Amino acid sequence: MNANRKPLVAANWKMNNSVAEALALVEEIKRQAAEIKGIEIVLCPPFTALPAVSNAISGTNLDLGAQNMHWEKAGAFTGEISAAMLRELYCHYVILGHSERRTLFGETDASVNGKVKTALASSLRPIVCVGETHAQRQAGKTESVVSVQVREGLNDIGADQLAAVVIAYEPVWAIGTGKTATPRQAQEVQAFIRKLLEEMAGARLAQSVRIIYGGSVTPDNARELFREPDIDGALVGGASLNAESFLAIVKSTG
């Protein structure tokens, strides 16, 4: 953590929770989060639960995000959701380029870049996910893989706009596996990402961008991760499906 950047903890519910389940979970989170200040807490439910969750968190200290969107404004794109549709539901964030979307649904750095541009043009803050596979780490390619993802995913975006971007470093081998990156491993890559941002847009901008960590974050390992200077929060999957564990992670930022 760094006092100059506001911590951000986001819940990525993935393809979990019916509307009723989402509402029950939100009520619990709302209750437990009411006193928390100085941390951005973002809930990213599946599309179907966005309207209900949006309504339920209105006027609270919780914010809303989506898990994906399309890069075009509108048109014949069956099954897709536009930035304007998300804005209409008071979404302020959108997760883009999650590794599950890259590996299972063919997302590329070019499509991520298109989505980031459209999100920014629509006043949605993108949470751009990057990270290497186990094989890439073993082959010593972590920095080159992450470098391509960051440079191409954020290609042609002005420094003023980059300030609204959040980067989530999510090593693929740590997602849903219970194998968290050590604080040192995560810090190394996140400091590297900040250096890349500095090369791309200058030191001032690089210092202002939140870089969060994702991959098997739990109440047991969060505090240690957040002690690192370049870890500004977390993108939480499994542990965000339970109010108690999610809030314990949120509180570990303080």
Catalytic residue ranges: 98, 170
Residue among 149, 253, 170 nearest 215 (CA): 170
Tell me how far, at minimum, the Cβ of 221 lies from ligand 13P, in Å: 11
- Contact with ligand 13P (CB under 6 A) among 62, 217, 222, 249: 217
Segment interacting with ligand 13P, rule: CB under 6 A, options 76-84, 198-206, 214-222, 225-233: 214-222
Size of the site for ligand 13P (CB under 6 A): 14
Rounded CA separation 96/105 (Å): 12
Please work out, in degrees rounded to the nearest 5, the angle formed at the alpha carbon of residue 54 by the alpha carbons of 117 and 121.
15
Looking at 143-245, which runs of residues are DSSP E strands? 166-169, 210-214, 233-236
Strand 40-44 and strand 125-130: pairing?
unpaired
Strand 166-169 and strand 210-214: pairing?
parallel
Rounded CA separation 125/16 (Å): 23
- Contact with ligand 13P (CB under 6 A) among 175, 197, 225, 243: 175
Q: Which is nearer to ligand 13P, 45 or 237 (CB)?
A: 237
111 binds ligand 13P (CB under 6 A): no
Tell me how far, at minimum, the Cβ of 34 lies from ligand 13P, in Å: 24
Residue 8's H or E segment, with its range, is strand 8-12
63 binds ligand 13P (CB under 6 A): no
Q: Are 146 and 132 in contact (CB under 8 A)?
A: yes
Q: Which is nearer to ligand 13P, 17 or 216 (CB)?
A: 216
The helix/strand/coil state of 85 is helix
- Contact with ligand 13P (CB under 6 A) among 81, 232, 238, 243: 238
Q: Which is nearer to ligand 13P, 43 or 217 (CB)?
A: 217
Q: Which residue is nearest to ligand 13P (CB)?
A: 237
Residues 6+ apart with CB under 8 A from 49: 13, 17, 18, 19, 22, 23
Q: Pattern of binders to ligand 13P over 176-205, x per CB under 6 A?
A: x-----------------------------
Q: Which residues bind ligand 13P (CB under 6 A)?
A: 12, 98, 170, 175-176, 214-217, 235-239
